[in-house]
């Protein structure tokens, strides 16, 4: 009995918390459209029960809570998903991983990429998706209103300046990414097993591709650790546990050059709080090092 009461109070607490936070659009957000089923709430590892594959990435980026609400009008259905992450940087990180080539809709007052199947939106610490599985162009105005009404209740937060730290010259627009651990890093490069860069779901790495007329395109990763000691530890961990497919060609006190299985080159440099990495270089870099 006590257990049941505890459970009930927990559920009530969740419900109140839900209402105290953001408010999802209700019935008739557009005349005729009604909510379908109750709002689902997932926290922590519950997310694995909702996302079939891919929950690990959200968890790595700092997932806090997901609210899911279905909407219906006759045979048409939509599902709104509102993910709260632990920071605007984390929300942007997830967004960049999920948005693909951005095709924004101007009527939505937040960074977005939208098509007839899905709107993907980021604002503050929130990552939002509006899904229309029918993929009907006619539903885009409804999806837009649903998104707009959701955004009305999202609290304003500081802008994310993390990516401003990427050098602008020769940056390939749209290639910017944020990583916070091995799942985010997986499609970019394999440096070794596990959390080889010791990001620990805390530290953000910023990533982008660059054009280089001499060296071809390459990828730059910049990680700003909390302090130089953490950066040094991560650097040592990387060097000691490098993937066996990476051959170290040259090494100095705070840097090294590798050749990968595709005969492309990488350059890693430890500089105070930072680890800077260039990968996928076509030519072996000739590096001048401050001894």
Partner 1 sequence: MEKQTYQSMNNSFKVNRRNFLKVSSAASAGLILGTPTLWAQDAQKQDKPERPKTNLEDALKVPKTKYSLPGAFPGKVVEIHNSGAMSEEKIDAEIVKQMFQSGIQKLTDQNLKKSFKLFFKKDDIVGIKVNPVGPGLISTRLELVDAIIDWLVENGIKKGNIIIWDRFDYMLTDAGFTTERFPGIGIEGLQTMDETAAEGKAEDDSHWLKPDGTHVSAENFDMDVYYWADVEGPKDDKPYLNQHVFNGKYSYFGKLLTKKLTKIINVPVFKNTGNGISMATKNLGYGAVCNTNRLHRPLFFDVCTEVLAFPVIRDKLALNITDGLRAQYDGGPSQNANFAYIYNTQFFATDPFALDMVCHNLMVQKRKEMNVNVNEHPRFTEYLRYAERLGLGIANPKKISHIRA
Q: Pick between residue 41 and residue 73 the one whose CB is nearest to partner 1.
A: 41
Q: How far is the CB of 177 from partner 1 (least distance, A)?
A: 7
Strand extents, DSSP E, 193-273: 205-210, 218-224, 247-252, 255-259, 265-271
Q: Which stretch, 21-29, 74-82, 145-153, 181-189, contacts partner 1 (CB under 8 A)?
A: 181-189
Paired strand residues for 253: none
Q: Which stretch, 26-34, 74-82, 149-157, 242-250, contacts partner 1 (CB under 8 A)?
A: 242-250
157 sits in the region (left: phi over 0; alpha: psi -120 to 50; else beta) called beta
Residues between 207 and 236 that touch partner 1 (CB under 8 A): 220, 222, 224, 233, 236
Q: Name which position in 15, 28, 34, 241 contacts partner 1 (CB under 8 A).
A: 241
- What is the rounded CA–CA span in Å between residue 142 and residue 58? 27
- What is the rounded CA–CA span in Å between residue 151 and residue 168? 30
Q: Name which position in 187, 200, 202, 247 contacts partner 1 (CB under 8 A).
A: 187
Q: How far is the CB of 31 from partner 1 (least distance, A)?
A: 26
Residues between 82 and 111 that touch partner 1 (CB under 8 A): 89, 98-101
Q: Pick between residue 24 and residue 257 the one whose CB is nearest to partner 1.
A: 257
Of 183, 163, 209, 166, which is closest to residue 61 (Cα–Cα)?
A: 183
Q: Name which position in 9, 23, 27, 50 contacts partner 1 (CB under 8 A).
A: 50
Residues between 109 and 148 that touch partner 1 (CB under 8 A): 113, 115-118, 120, 133, 135
φ, ψ dihedrals at 120, nearest 5°: -120, 125
Q: Pick between residue 32 and residue 172 the one whose CB is nearest to partner 1.
A: 172
Q: Are strands 255-259 and 247-252 parallel, antiparallel or unpaired?
A: antiparallel
| Residue that is written with structure tokens 């649903």 in the block | 146
| Residue that is written with structure tokens 């693909």 in the block | 100
How many residues touch partner 1 under the rule CB under 8 A: the total is 80
Virtual torsion, Cα 268, 271, 272, 276, nearest 10 deg:
-50
Q: Which stretch, 26-34, 104-112, 144-152, 254-262, contacts partner 1 (CB under 8 A)?
A: 254-262
Q: How far is the CB of 59 from partner 1 (least distance, A)?
A: 13
Burial class from Cβ neighbours inside 10 Å (0-12, 13-18, 19+) for residue 121 reads buried
Residues between 12 and 41 that touch partner 1 (CB under 8 A): 37-38, 40-41
Q: How far is the CB of 226 from partner 1 (least distance, A)?
A: 9
- What is the rounded CA–CA span in Å between residue 200 and residue 89? 15
Q: How far is the CB of 49 from partner 1 (least distance, A)?
A: 5
- Show the site string, 157-176: x = touches partner 1 by CB under 8 A, - = not: ----xx-xxxx------xx-
- What is the rounded CA–CA span in Å between residue 273 and residue 291? 18
């Amino acid at each position: 009995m006590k257990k049941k009461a505890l459970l009930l109070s927990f559920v009530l607490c969740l419900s109140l918390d839900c209402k105290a936070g953001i408010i999802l659009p209700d019935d008739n957000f557009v005349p005729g459209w009604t909510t379908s089923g109750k709002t689902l709430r997932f926290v922590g590892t519950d997310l694995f029960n909702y996302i079939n594959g891919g929950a690990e990435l959200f968890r790595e980026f700092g997932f806090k809570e997901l609210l899911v609400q279905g909407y219906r009008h006759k045979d048409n259905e939509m599902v709104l998903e509102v993910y709260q992450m632990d920071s605007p940087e984390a929300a942007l990180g997830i967004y960049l991983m999920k948005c693909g080539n951005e095709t924004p809709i101007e009527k939505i007052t937040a960074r977005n990429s939208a098509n007839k199947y899905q709107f993907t939106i980021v604002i503050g610490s929130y990552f939002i998706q509006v899904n229309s599985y029918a993929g009907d162009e006619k539903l885009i105005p409804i999806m837009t209103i649903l998104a707009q009404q959701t955004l009305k209740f999202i609290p304003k937060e500081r802008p994310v300046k993390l990516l401003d730290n990427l050098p602008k010259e020769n940056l390939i627009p749209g290639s910017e990414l944020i990583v916070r651990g091995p799942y985010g890093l997986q499609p970019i490069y394999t440096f070794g097993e596990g959390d080889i860069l010791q990001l620990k779901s805390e530290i953000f790495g910023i990533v982008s591709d660059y054009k280089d007329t001499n060296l071809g395109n390459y990828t730059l990763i910049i990680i700003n650790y909390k302090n130089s000691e953490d950066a040094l530890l991560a650097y040592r961990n990387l060097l000691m546990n490098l993937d066996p497919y990476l051959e170290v060609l040259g090494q100095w006190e705070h840097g090294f050059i590798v050749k990968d299985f595709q005969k492309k080159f990488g350059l890693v440099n430890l500089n105070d709080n930072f680890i800077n990495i260039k990968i996928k270089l076509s030519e072996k870099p000739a590096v001048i090092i401050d001894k």
